[in-house]
Amino acid sequence: MKAWWCTLLMACGCASAARAQEGGPLPLGPPAPLVDPLPQPLPEPLPDPLPEPNNQVDPIIAARADVATACTLPAQWAHCKTTLADNRALLTSVDDAAMVKDLDERLAVWSVAAAKTIGVLLPLSGPQAKAGETAREAIELALSDLGVRAVYADSGGEPIKATAAALKLLTEDHVAALLGPIGRQETSAVAAVARRFVVPQVTLSVLTDEQSARATDVVMRVRTSPVEVAWFLAREARARMGITRAAVLYPDTELGKEAATAFAEELQRQGADVARLVAYDPKTTDFKAVMKALMRAERPGKKVVADFDALFVPDAPDVVKRVLPQLELWHVPLRLAPLSGPVGKGKTTPVQLLGSMAWDSPLIIDKAEGLTDNATFAVIRADTSTPEGQAFATRFQARWSKAPLSFHAEVYDAARFLAGAVAKVDGADQDLRLALQDKLRQSRTEVGATGPLRVTMGMLDPRVQLMTIQGTTIRARLAEDDERTQRAAP
């Protein structure tokens, strides 16, 4: 017991009490302090009871989701119309009102479509009115025997006016498809309308739209662009005429730059060299400075020779006629006939003249000195070697008492391509347009005035012909051996 008590006292720090139990004297002074016990952790508070689950969804959010889901695909337009009507009362915010307004406008167009009707957008007024009237001649001829009605609208050559005209054709005339316009800016403006309302459009622009390469797009381009023509010309110059190093003189315009760059890049891809590209002011009439840049010399001389065997000039005949005398002045030998073999050592290779679609005119021919003999260019024109091309030329001459231009032939094919599909599709609403879009993009080949029209993966393959000048005649260029034989014939 004594030992237990002592142990307890020692644990409490009472040494003096322990000694007192043993009979010893108690020490003087204050007692030793007690040791604080270890702090005990406070009990954690009980958590708040969990809230009751709320399975109710905000009806406005649900309405937005339902409409967004129903109106995603144009093919579901009828379901979209019903869903919007069921949820319209909940969609009252500013953002919702804008969405509802857009859908209402689309549904108004999708609800009605006039079968066998095409809306044609052309610049019938303004600076491009002549081009518009020229296109209309070809379109009227193209539609004359297909049972398809054309509703014409004036684009004025302006994007804002073209947009308004396209909207009118869709909201008031309810056309099944759009044809045109011609210019780049107005075409882009109308393409935006066609995409918004999912209406098939065949453009008459020769310029590539960056979005028209999508196989599911509603916008198609039938006419061939200057870039595609330049690619074709570069390939033919390299493969058929043996061009090894070319120079390019081009107007400092958007079209000029595109054609020059496309030709040069394609020629290099084909293994040939490009000596240089020389731009000039499209308004210039004096080519002296331009020739200095082309020949890399200050003045003509015996030691100044052309370091290229081809010259590409993508410009109009009147410009080419100003360049020709300068080439003579600088002693640039022109290839006035196809080469029969390699040029001898120490001799300058004659320069082959190459041109763009703008050369497809009798005005390009140099009747005085024959400097354009053997000049070659690429074009899109009526292919009179086919029954379709012959029929087009004959019908056009009979209707308008004049020969058709290349532009006529291209527009004619575009109109026939679209109208032929429109004539085969029936319906009274957006389903008609969706069926028409599928038909237009089916892979197939149709023969038109300009030759075969091949649709591959929803896109039309370009159709380009190589032309040449012989004396005072422009004709299709033959294979080089046949070309030499043709020119040697009396």
Chain centroid offset of residue 47 CA = 64
pLDDT of residue 103: 95
The rounded mean pLDDT for the chain is 87
As a whole number, mean pLDDT of residues 146-152 equals: 97
Interatomic CA distance for residues 376 and 72, integer angstroms: 51
473 and 356 inside one domain: yes
Residue 474 confidence (pLDDT) above 90:
yes
Question: How do beta strands 273-280 and 310-313 pair?
Answer: unpaired
Positive or negative torsion for Cα 155, 135, 365, 247: positive
Comparing C-alpha atoms, which of 480, 479, 453 is closest to residue 464?
Answer: 453
Residue 267's Cβ-count burial label (10 Å; 0-12, 13-18, 19+) is: buried
287 and 176 inside one domain: no
Comparing C-alpha atoms, which of 137, 136, 188 is closest to residue 160?
Answer: 188
Comparing C-alpha atoms, which of 263, 253, 258 is closest to residue 207?
Answer: 258
pLDDT of residue 131: 94
Number of structural domains the chain divides into: 3
Interatomic CA distance for residues 365 and 423, integer angstroms: 43
Question: How do beta strands 451-456 and 444-448 pair?
Answer: antiparallel
As a whole number, mean pLDDT of residues 100-110 equals: 95
Least confidently predicted of 27-36, 229-238, 253-262, 313-322:
27-36
Positive or negative torsion for Cα 365, 367, 368, 372: positive
> Is 364 within a domain?
yes
The helix or strand, by DSSP H or E, that contains position 177, with its residue range, turns out to be strand 175-179
As a whole number, mean pLDDT of residues 467-487 equals: 93
Highest mean pLDDT among 117-131, 200-214, 458-472: 117-131
Q: How confident is the model at residue 336 (pLDDT cuts 50, 70, 90)?
A: very high
Q: DSSP letters along 13-38, please?
A: T-HHHHHHHTTPPPPPSPPPPPPPPP
Quote the radius of gyration of the chain (alpha carbons, Å): 41
202 and 244 inside one domain: no
Q: Are 482 and 421 in contact (CB under 8 A)?
A: no
Residue 212 confidence (pLDDT) above 50:
no
321 and 350 inside one domain: yes
pLDDT of residue 486: 92
Q: Are 191 and 216 in contact (CB under 8 A)?
A: no
Interatomic CA distance for residues 143 and 198, integer angstroms: 23
Q: How confident is the model at residue 44 (pLDDT cuts 50, 70, 90)?
A: low
Which structural domain range is residue 69 located in?
59-109
Residue 52 confidence (pLDDT) above 90:
no
CATH number at residue 299: 3.40.50.2300
- The last residue of one of the domains, among 443, 459, 479, is 443
> Is 434 within a domain?
yes
As a whole number, mean pLDDT of residues 328-348 equals: 83
Tokens encoding 169: 């054709």
- Residue 471 to residues 102, 365, 374, 481, 487: CA-CA distances in angstroms? 61, 8, 8, 18, 10
> Is 96 within a domain?
yes
Tokens encoding 151: 């509703």
164 and 311 inside one domain: no
pLDDT of residue 18: 43
Q: How confident is the model at residue 16 (pLDDT cuts 50, 70, 90)?
A: very low
Tokens encoding 41: 């952790």
Q: What is the pLDDT of residues 161-197, one digit of tens each?
A: 999 999 999 999 999 999 999 988 999 999 999 999 9
- Residue 119 to residues 47, 90, 167: CA-CA distances in angstroms? 71, 37, 10
> Is 77 within a domain?
yes
pLDDT of residue 208: 56
Q: How confident is the model at residue 489 (pLDDT cuts 50, 70, 90)?
A: confident
pLDDT of residue 13: 46
189 and 98 inside one domain: no
As a whole number, mean pLDDT of residues 424-435 equals: 96
Q: What is the pLDDT of residues 354-379, one digit of tens each?
A: 999 999 999 999 999 999 999 999 99
- 221: which strand partners? 203
pLDDT of residue 35: 53
372 and 437 inside one domain: no
Q: How confident is the model at residue 51 (pLDDT cuts 50, 70, 90)?
A: low
pLDDT of residue 74: 85
Helices (H), 172-253: 184-197, 226-239
Q: Are 314 and 321 in contact (CB under 8 A)?
A: no
> Is 455 within a domain?
no
The residue to which tokens 């009990």 are assigned: 43
Residue 213 confidence (pLDDT) above 60:
no
The residue to which tokens 């001898």 are assigned: 344
> Which is more confident, 112 or 74?
112
311 and 411 inside one domain: no
> Which is more confident, 283 or 406?
283
> Is 134 within a domain?
yes
Residue 490 confidence (pLDDT) above 90:
no
292 and 159 inside one domain: no
375 and 390 inside one domain: no
Least confidently predicted of 34-38, 93-97, 355-359, 479-483:
34-38
332 and 418 inside one domain: no
Positive or negative torsion for Cα 228, 233, 234, 238: positive
241 and 350 inside one domain: yes
> Which is more confident, 310 or 25?
310
> Is 269 within a domain?
yes
> Is 214 within a domain?
yes
